[in-house]
Amino acid sequence: MSRDRVYCVDCREPIPSDARVCPHCDAVQPSPLVDVGVVVAGVFAFVFGVVLALMTVGTTRLFGFVLVIVGFGLAVGGYTRHLDRQAGRRAR
């Protein structure tokens, strides 16, 4: 699945999939693991926020709502970034 060719985010040259830095232009490559981490953290914050918002009152409840919004943004944002990169690769 992740064995497909990886291209530099900057110069679009093919690079080894485990390369952290492009050998052509020295651009740092984003790691898919970061996206996964962001999505997982977002989902976790979302679930935790829902629990807080439902189970508590007052300031903690407000904090729960903020967590829901932040978690949702992180999860959707990370997933969108992931999709964008895949679409960029396929368009090549």
Residues that bind Zn ion (CB under 5 A): 8, 10-11, 22, 24-25, 27
User: CB of 21: closest distance to Zn ion in angstroms?
Assistant: 9
Q: Are 84 and 44 in contact (CB under 8 A)?
A: no
Q: Which is nearer to Zn ion, 22 or 74 (CB)?
A: 22
Nearer to Zn ion, 27 or 66 (CB): 27
* CA distances for 2 relative to 11, 23, 82, angstroms: 20, 20, 12
d(CA 49, CA 55): 10
Residue 6 or 39: which CB sits closer to Zn ion?
6
